[in-house]
């Protein structure tokens, strides 16, 4: 996996957590 892909996944997870909280 490229760093860009990891960055996108990390960003998505953060947004998901913020939405749940």
Spatial distance between the Cα atoms of 21 and 17, rounded to a whole number of angstroms: 6
- Grade residue 1 by pLDDT with cuts at 50, 70 and 90: confident
- Token pair 């960003």 is found at 11
Cα 15 to the center of its chain, rounded Å? 7
Residue 8 vs residue 1, higher pLDDT: 8
Spatial distance between the Cα atoms of 9 and 20, rounded to a whole number of angstroms: 16
How many residues are present in the chain? 21
Average pLDDT of span 2-11: 97
């Amino acid at each position: 996996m490229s760093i860009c892909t990891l960055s996108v996944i990390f960003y998505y997870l953060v947004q998901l957590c913020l939405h749940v909280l």
